[in-house]
Amino acid sequence: MKLVRDVPSADERYGLQWPGKRAAIDLALAPAGTSLVAVPDESVDWERTKNLLIEGDNLDALKLLRADLQGAIKLIHIDPPYNTGKNFTYADDFQGAESVHTDWLNMIYPRLLLARDLLRDDGAMIIHIDEHEHANLHAVVSEIFGAANLLGVAVWDKRNPKGDASGLAYQHESIFFVAKNRTVFVEAGGLRRRKKNAEAMLAKAKSLFARLGKVDLPSDLKDVARRYGLADASTDPFRRKIDLVRVNEEFADWVRSQNFSGGESAYNKIDAEGRVYRLVSMAWPNKKRAPDDYFLPLLHPVTGEACPVPKRGWRNPPETMQRLLSRGEIVFGADHTVQPQRKYRLDQNLDENVPSVIAYGGSDDALLAELGIPFDTPKPVELVRDLLAAVLHQQPGGIVLDFFAGSGTVAHAVMLHNAATGDDARFILVQRPEPLDAGKRDQRAAAEFCDAIGKPRTVAEITKERVRRAGAQCPSAPGFRVFRLA
Ligand SMILES: C[S@@+](CC[C@H](N)C(=O)[O-])C[C@H]1O[C@@H](n2cnc3c(N)ncnc32)[C@H](O)[C@@H]1O
C-alpha cells in the first residue's frame, strides 16, 4: 500500500495556541487603567530607601513600572501560581472552561511580555514552576524570549517526594533561567555561583599543611626516618616530602567523607606550597586529530625522558604548554611513564557554573514561624539568595523585581545578599491585596494575623509585614516605599 503524506495547509505552523491568546496580547498592549498612589505610612525609611513595594495587580503594575524602568531591571525572579487546582494562602486554581490550562496561559502570557520589556539587555529572568504548567511555560518562554535565550531549566531536588501521588511522586520543581539576550548576558559574566565549601576546604588544607615536618609517621616510616636522621627535622626537605604524602592522603579522605559537590570534591590535593588543587587531563577534546605541533612530548623533570602524549594530541599549542610549564601549572607523575596533567588551584577557581540539578531539601516554615508570618509554601530564602547571586555577581547595584511576591522572600533574599556581599542591590515587589477569608481553613491563620496587626485581611499585608520584620533583622536594612494602585 502506498502512503500519501498530508500536505501542510498554509495556516499550520509550529507554536503554542490556546483560546484567548489574541486577547492576552491585547491586554499587554493596552495602557494601564490606573496610577500609583504613594503610601508613606506603610513604608519604612521613605526618605532614604530605593526599594519599592507595589500593592495591586501585577498587570497594571508592570505597565506603570515600564514608564520609568523599561530596560532597567537586571533580574526578574517570579514564583507564579502553579495552577495546582488547590488553594493556599492565595488562590491557585486557573482551570478555565476550555481546558485546565487556558486561564493560566491567559494570566501568564501578557505578564511575561511586559516583563521582557523591563529587562536590561544583560538582564535575566528566573521562573519557578512545577509539573502542572512546566510544558506550557517552556513553550511560552521560548516564544516570548526566543528559544536561544533560554539558558536552561534546573531541577530543584526537594529531597522529599510528594505523599499524595497517583502517578510519579514528584520530588522536584523546575527553575527556568532565561536571558533577554543570551550573548550579552554571557558577556556580562553569565550564571556563576560560589563554591559553597571552598572556604572550609582551604581552611582544612591550611591546618593539615601546618603539620608538615611534624606528622606522626607510621612505625615503618618512623624507622626509615630515624635511620636517616630525619626524625624531628621539621625543615628537612625529604621529611617534608614524606609528610606531604601523608597530609595529602588525609586531605583526600576528609574531602571524600564530606557531602561536597562533584566540582568541589575534585580539589582533593595539596601542593608543596600548601595550595589546594585538582588535576585535569590536557588531552585534545575533539574527535578530530589536533594539529601536528600539538604532539610535542614533555620531558620528565627528574628522569629527563619523554612522557606519554595523549592519543589525539595536547589540548593547547606548544607556546601555551611552555607557559604552563614555566608557571608550574603542569604536574608530572613519579616518572616519565605517567602522562602529565594540568593543575587547577582552588583559590583561583572559587566560582563554578550553576549545575542543572540544585539540591535543597529545607523549607522555611520554621523561619516564617520565627518571624511570626503565616504563609503557605514560601520559597526557602537561602535557595532564593543563591539563585539571585548567580546573576547579581555580574555587577553591584542591580534591581531585582518579583511581581508575584507572596510572603516577600525575594526582598528578604536581596537584603541577606547585600549583607553578605556588600552589594547594594535593590528590590521591587508587586503583590495584589488578595482577600483572605477567615472562613477558609487555609486562610484563617493569615486573616487572623491581619486582624492582630490591625490591617485589612489581604495577602499584601502579609508581604509588607514580612519585609518589615526581615528588614529589622538585617544590618543597615534599607527600608521600602509602598505604592498602591489607585
Ligand atoms: C506562589 S506565591 C509566591 C510565593 C513567594 N515566592 C514566597 O516565597 O512567599 C504567588 C503569589 O502571587 C500572588 N499573585 C497571584 N496573582 C497575582 C497578580 N495578578 N498580581 C499580583 N500578585 C499576584 C499571589 O497572591 C501569591 O501571593
Of the chain, the percentage scoring pLDDT greater than 70 comes to 96
Task: Tell me: do 147 and 291 sit in the same domain.
Answer: no
Instruction: Say yes or no to pLDDT of 475 above 90.
Output: no
- Enumerate the H helices of 99-149 as residue ranges: 102-118, 134-145
Total residue count of the chain as it appears in this document: 486
H or E, element range at 293: none
444-456: pLDDT as tens digits: 999 999 999 999 9
Three-class secondary structure of residue 431 per DSSP? strand
Q: Which amino acid is at 209?
A: F
CA 80 to ligand 1 center in whole angstroms: 6
Residue 10 lies in a domain: no
Distance between CA atoms of 379 and 73, rounded to whole angstroms? Answer: 22
Distance 409 CA to ligand 1 centre (A): 11
Q: Helix (H, G, I), strand (E, B), or coil: what is residue 88?
A: coil
The residue among 245, 273, 301 that closes a domain is 273
Residues 167 and 286 occupy one common structural domain: no
Which cell numbers hold the place of 458? 489581604
Tell me if 168 is assigned to some domain.
yes
Pairing relationship of beta strands 52-55 and 73-78 according to DSSP bridges: unpaired
For residue 82, the ligand 1 atom closest to its alpha carbon is 1
Q: Cα–Cα distance between 464 and 51 in angstroms, integer? A: 12
pLDDT of 254 reads 98
Asked if 439 and 411 touch (Cβ cutoff 8 Å), the reply is no
Q: What is the 473 CA–ligand 1 centroid distance (Å)?
A: 24
Q: In the prediction, which pLDDT does 239 show?
A: 78
392 lies in the same domain as 474:
yes
Average pLDDT for residues 274-294, to the nearest whole number? 94
Indicate if 379 and 432 belong to the same structural domain: yes
Residue having the nearest C-alpha atom to atom 12 of ligand 1: 404
Question: At 472, phi and psi to the nearest 5?
Answer: -65, -25
Asked whether the beta carbons of 183 and 202 are under 8 A apart, the reply is no
Asked which of 307, 332, 349 is the last residue of a domain, the reply is 349
* Ligand 1 nearest atom to the CA of residue 466, by list position: 9
Residue minimizing CA distance to atom 13 of ligand 1: 404
Is residue 408 domain-resident?
yes
Query: Residue 23 has what pLDDT?
Result: 96
The pLDDT value given to residue 5: 59
The answer to whether position 54 is within a domain reads yes
Q: Are strands 399-402 and 426-431 parallel, antiparallel or unpaired?
A: parallel
Instruction: Kindly report the protein residue whose alpha carbon is nearest to atom 5 of ligand 1.
Output: 406
- Residue-wise pLDDT tens digits, 68-112: 999 999 999 999 999 988 877 787 887 766 678 999 999 999 999
Mean residue pLDDT of the chain comes to 93
CB atoms within 10 A of CB 303: 13
Q: Is the pLDDT of residue 471 over 90?
A: yes
What average pLDDT does the segment 284-302 reach? 93
> What is the pairing mode between strands 192-194 and 351-353?
antiparallel
pLDDT at 9: 65
- Residue 238, classified by CB atoms within 10 Å of its CB into exposed (0-12), middle (13-18) or buried (19+), is exposed
- The rounded distance, in Å, linking the Cα atoms of 132 and 83 is 7
Query: If you ran DSSP here, which 8-state letter would residue 283 be given?
Result: B
Please give the C-alpha separations between residue 434 and each of 94, 227, 463, in angstroms, as whole numbers: 15, 82, 11
Between the CA of 41 and the centroid of ligand 1 the distance, in Å, is: 23
169 has a pLDDT exceeding 60 = yes
Instruction: Assign 434 to helix, strand or coil.
Output: coil
Q: Which residues form the domain of 324? A: 281-349
Q: Which one of 34, 90, 104 would you pick to mutate in the ligand 1 pocket, going by the greatest count of ligand atoms within 8 A of its CB? A: 90
Nearest to 360 by CA among 374, 381, 375, 377: 381
Contact residues of ligand 1, CB 6 A cut-off: 57-58, 79, 81, 90, 375, 378-379, 404, 406-407, 409, 430-432, 434, 459
Residue whose CA lies nearest to ligand 1 atom number 7? 378
Q: Can you tell me whether residue 299 is helix, strand or coil? A: strand
Residue of 179, 164, 83, 163 whose CA lies nearest to 126 = 179
Q: What b/e readout covers 321-357, taking b as 16+ CB neighbours within 10 angstroms?
A: beebeeeebbebeeebeeebbbbeebeeeeebebeee
Q: Which of these, 449, 486, 466, lies nearest to 32 by C-alpha position?
A: 486
Let me know how many helices (H) and strands (E) the chain has, helices first.
15, 18
**Ligand 1 geometric centre to CA of 150 (Å):** 23
Ligand 1 centroid to residue 87 C-alpha, Å: 12
276 backbone dihedrals φ, ψ, rounded to 5°: -80, 135
Q: What residues contact 248, with CB distance under 8 A and at least 6 apart?
A: 269, 270
- CA 44 – CA 26 distance, rounded (Å): 37
Q: How confident is the model at residue 22 (pLDDT cuts 50, 70, 90)?
A: very high
What is the position in ligand 1's atom list of the atom closest to the CA of 58?
20
Q: Does residue 237 share a domain with residue 124?
A: no
What average pLDDT does this structure show over 173-177?
98
Nearest atom in ligand 1 to the alpha carbon of residue 404 is 12
What is the distance between the alpha carbons of residues 328 and 51, in angstroms, rounded to a whole number? Answer: 49
Q: Given the CA of residue 406, which atom of ligand 1 is nearest to it? A: 27
Within-domain flag for 305? yes
Of 227, 249, 273, the domain-final residue: 273
* CA 17 – ligand 1 centroid, Å: 25
Determine the Cα–Cα distance for residues 133 and 90; give it in Å rounded to an integer: 18
CA of 403 to the centre of ligand 1 (A): 7
Residue pair 176/137 in contact by the 8 Å Cβ criterion: yes
Per-residue pLDDT band at 8 (split at 50, 70, 90)? low
Pocket test for ligand 1, best of 431, 457, 465 (most atoms within 8 A of CB): 431
Atom in ligand 1 nearest the alpha carbon of residue 384: 8
Task: Kindly state whether residues 211 and 186 are assigned to the same domain.
Answer: no
* 336 occurs within a structural domain: yes
Place of cell 486562610: 443
Does residue 395 share a domain with residue 340? no
Q: Are residues 46 and 173 in the same domain?
A: yes
Q: Is 16 part of a structural domain of the chain?
A: no
Domain membership of residue 65 (yes or no) is yes
Compute, in angstroms, the gap from residue 15 CA to the centroid of ligand 1: 28
Say whether both 255 and 322 belong to one domain: no
pLDDT at position 98, please? 65
User: Is residue 30 over pLDDT 90?
Assistant: yes
Q: How far is the CA of 419 from the centre of ligand 1 (A)?
A: 26
40 with 178, same domain: the answer is yes
Locate cell 525609611: which residue?
45
Are 430 and 364 in a shared domain? yes
- Residue at grid coordinates 518562554: 141
Residues 242-265: what's their mean pLDDT? 93
Which one-letter amino acid corresponds to residue 258? Q
CA 406 – ligand 1 centroid, Å: 4
Question: Domain holding 471: CATH number?
Answer: 3.40.50.150
Query: Per-residue confidence at 233, pLDDT binned at 50, 70, 90?
Result: low
Residues 114 and 52 reside in one and the same domain: yes
Q: Is the per-residue pLDDT at 16 higher than 80?
A: yes
Identify the pLDDT of residue 77. 98
CA dist 140 and 383 (Å) reads 25
d(CA 340, CA 321) in angstroms, rounded, equals 11
Q: Total structural domains in the chain?
A: 3
